């Protein structure tokens, strides 16, 4: 028995389209992404300038240390030589020691400033991207959310965003530090002794080559690892969402095995990435010590012949020792560039994604007069399957005070009609109007305050019942909330709770029954007093007696608005002024309940199937 539908081995089922661009992207694409992140960093000029400025200064003090140490060695030799020059050399050594201490302290202080402001810039970038990402997810259309798993979005919003956030401090600033250190240090060494300078820097080309190769490998494996972590996140998210089903079917072992398989898959690739980094770091370190050995050998010979002093050789060795740590970190820098490039491609792919349903900047607000809803030869196909029409030639009109029922077999397009009215999707043919205004030509916010859909899947937030009901109007008065609750036949139940309307429901309303959650959703919709109220099979989990009481309350409420009822159960819509029977995306029958019974068509067949002979009284 399959409890949860995801398959860890299948990889990402429906991921943002940006991933395809990442895999196909070359260095040009990666460079543009890094440039974009860099521009974001420099939107904070004070912090980024302080970080980069401190990097230059810290590098300068870092380069002073080898020279001062070399001078100290020569001065110490002068002391050891004795004579009148010993006391002078001793005083000079004292001043050199003071300068060395001061240079070390200043290097440490400016390195601290560099790290602090580098991290500050990264956190500013993270804050901005976090808000932009969340805002984008709020605006993306239903068609996007239909084709992507929430775990994929969580991965982008956490792991990918973190990779971009760390770019400034771990990649850009570190690159500047290393460039200054090697560039200026190379000039100082080569101007002192060109042979020893070339030997001291001989490992740099090899490191550059290894870093380039490693960047390519890390870039590819990081994207692969992100996809595997996405699968892992999805498995966990689905398990947590369906934990009651898992327990009910004693499927804990199955879920553990599935999670273990996804986790082991990610772990295997993570080990491969560690191997790549370790091999790269080891090769770079080996080249460094080989270069140091050559400097010792050749430099020792030069000291013997008197071409250079022991202090000069010491300064060369000290510079190489100081350079050793940045060389070891070069692999981390390369990884940071690769990670920022791949993570940025995915994150910016989401942020740059076109929104299928959006406002025209000049669109006016919806103006309500008669409150007439009209479908004019509407056709629709979901963006994921544009050649498979779900609706075709749908035309009907509903005036204020009218109730329209929509019924039909599963998959006939009933819920699609409901979702088109608030413009969750845009029609692909025809148009939908309210008081003669095409809903595509008005502001979405005004439309969705005028059209409210109560869906079968009732989502509740982890907050109080009062806040859940007043979600669309947070400043509503208690009396308004109570009236909406009474209309949904929920008020008496809430009053019986210890904390009444202040009772906190569990995650996704887990502490409420299915019927209670649906009644709360109805109350939340009633709160807005919309011009068009759409019930999309929203009373399916409510018992017949409660449904009758809700219908009675809704009839009074529906006098001033259009009411659309989509249902499988005929008892939910037999009272409607007009009933549309939809099949294969078309209206095949329409009329009142009695008219459709007399036609003896599909509606009559469904009625005979659902209503027992003893229940014929309902037909009246």
Confidence of residue 51 (pLDDT cuts 50, 70, 90): very high
Q: What is the mean pLDDT of residues 2-10?
A: 37
Class of the domain covering 8-351: mainly alpha
The reply to whether domains 8-351 and 373-615 share a CATH topology is no
pTM listed for this prediction: 0.72
Q: What is the mean pLDDT of residues 582-605?
A: 89
- Residues 324-350 have a mean pLDDT of 78
Span 254-263, average pLDDT? 82
For residues 339 and 333, give the distance between their C-alpha atoms in angstroms, rounded to a whole number.
10
Query: What is the pLDDT at residue 6?
Result: 39
Q: Convert the pLDDT of each residue in 477-491 to its tens digit.
A: 888 888 888 877 888
Fold of 373-615: Rossmann fold (3.40.50)
DSSP single-letter state for residue 409: S
Most confident of the ranges 6-10, 135-139, 392-396, 567-571? 392-396
Q: Tens digits of per-residue pLDDT, 123-158? A: 999 899 888 888 888 887 777 776 776 767 777 877
Mean pLDDT, range 372-385, rounded to an integer:
88
Among the ranges given (249-253, 567-571, 576-580, 597-601), the one the predictor scored with the smallest mean pLDDT: 249-253
Q: In this predicted structure, what is the pLDDT of residue 8?
A: 38
Of 392-396, 451-455, 479-483, give the range with the top mean pLDDT.
Answer: 392-396
Range with lowest mean pLDDT among 19-33, 229-243, 454-468: 19-33
- The better pLDDT of the pair 37, 512 is held by 37
Res 1 pLDDT > 70: no
Report in angstroms the alpha-carbon separations of 50 from 35, 53, 108, 374: 20, 5, 15, 61
State the average pLDDT for the chain.
81
Average pLDDT on 492-499 reads: 84
In this structure, which long-range contacts are made by residues 52-55, counting pairs with CB atoms below 8 Å and at least 24 apart in sequence?
Answer: 52/173, 52/176, 54/110, 54/111, 54/113, 54/114, 54/117, 55/110, 55/114, 55/173, 55/176, 55/177, 55/180
* Domain parsing of the chain, residue ranges: 8-351, 373-615
200-204, 207-211, 463-467: the lowest-pLDDT one: 207-211
What pLDDT, on the 0 to 100 scale, is given for residue 406? 92
* Statement: residue 410 has pLDDT above 50: yes
Exposure pattern of 107-129 as b/e (b: 16+ CB <10 Å)? beebbebbbebbbbbbebbeeeb
Residue 9 has pLDDT above 50, yes or no: no
């Amino acid at each position: 028995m399959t409890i949860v539908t995801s398959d860890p081995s299948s990889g990402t089922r429906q991921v943002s389209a940006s991933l395809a661009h990442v895999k196909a992207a070359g260095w040009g694409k990666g460079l543009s992404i890094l440039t974009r992140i860099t521009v974001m960093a420099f939107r904070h000029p004070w912090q980024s300038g302080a970080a980069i400025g401190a990097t230059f200064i810290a590098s300068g003090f870092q380069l002073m240390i080898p020279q001062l140490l070399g001078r100290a060695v020569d001065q110490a030799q002068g002391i050891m030589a004795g004579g009148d020059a010993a006391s002078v050399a001793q005083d000079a050594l004292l001043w050199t020691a003071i300068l060395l201490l001061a240079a070390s302290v200043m290097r440490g202080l400016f390195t601290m400033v560099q790290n602090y402001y580098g991290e500050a810039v990264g956190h500013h970038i993270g804050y901005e991207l976090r808000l932009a990402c969340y805002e984008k997810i709020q605006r993306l259309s239903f068609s996007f959310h239909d084709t992507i798993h929430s775990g994929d979005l969580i991965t982008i919003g956490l792991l990918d965003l973190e990779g971009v956030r760390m770019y400034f401090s771990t990649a850009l600033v570190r690159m500047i530090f290393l460039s200054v250190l090697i560039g200026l240090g190379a000039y100082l060494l080569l101007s002192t002794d060109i042979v020893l300078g070339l030997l001291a820097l001989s490992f740099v080309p090899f490191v550059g080559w290894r870093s380039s190769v490693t960047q390519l490998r890390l870039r590819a494996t990081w994207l692969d690892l992100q996809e595997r972590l996405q699968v892992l996140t999805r498995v966990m998210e689905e398990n947590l969402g369906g934990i009651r089903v898992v327990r009910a079917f004693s499927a804990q072992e199955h879920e553990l095995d599935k999670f273990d398989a996804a986790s082991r898959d990610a772990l295997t690739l993570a080990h491969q990435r560690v191997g790549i980094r370790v091999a790269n770091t080891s090769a770079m370190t080996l080249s460094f010590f080989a270069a140091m050995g050559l400097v010792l050998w050749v430099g020792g010979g030069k000291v013997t012949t008197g071409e250079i002093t022991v202090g000069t050789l010491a300064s060369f060795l000290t510079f190489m020792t100081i350079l050793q740590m940045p060389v070891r970190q070069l692999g981390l820098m390369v990884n940071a560039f690769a990670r920022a490039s791949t993570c940025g491609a995915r994150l910016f792919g989401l942020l740059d994604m076109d929104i299928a349903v959006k406002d025209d900047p000049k669109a006016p607000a919806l103006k309500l007069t008669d409150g007439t809803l009209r479908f004019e030869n509407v056709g629709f196909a979901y963006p994921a399957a544009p050649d498979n029409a779900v609706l075709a030639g749908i035309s009907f009109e509903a005036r204020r005070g009218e109730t329209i029922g929509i019924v039909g077999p599963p998959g006939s397009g009933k819920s699609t009609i409901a979702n088109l009215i608030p413009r969750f999707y845009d029609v692909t043919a025809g148009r939908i109007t309210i008081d003669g205004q095409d809903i595509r030509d008005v502001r979405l916010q005004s439309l969705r305050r005028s059209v409210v859909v109560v869906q079968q899947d009732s989502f509740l937030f982890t907050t109080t019942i009062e806040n859940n009901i007043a979600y669309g109007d947070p400043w509503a008065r208690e009396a308004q909330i109570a009236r909406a609750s009474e209309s949904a036949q929920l008020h008496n139940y809430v009053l019986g709770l210890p904390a009444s309307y202040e009772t906190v429901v569990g995650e996704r309303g887990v502490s409420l029954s299915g019927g209670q959650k649906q009644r709360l959703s109805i109350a939340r919709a009633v709160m807005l007093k919309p011009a068009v109220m759409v019930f999309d099979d929203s009373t399916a989990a409510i018992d017949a007696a409660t449904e009758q009481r809700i219908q009675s309350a809704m009839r009074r409420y529906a006098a001033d608005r259009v009411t659309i009822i989509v249902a499988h159960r005929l008892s939910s819509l037999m009272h409607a002024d007009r009933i549309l029977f939809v099949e294969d995306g078309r209206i095949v029958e329409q009329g009142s309940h009695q008219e459709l019974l007399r036609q003896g068509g599909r509606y009559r067949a469904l009625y005979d199937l659902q209503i027992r002979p003893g229940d014929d009284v309902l037909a009246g």
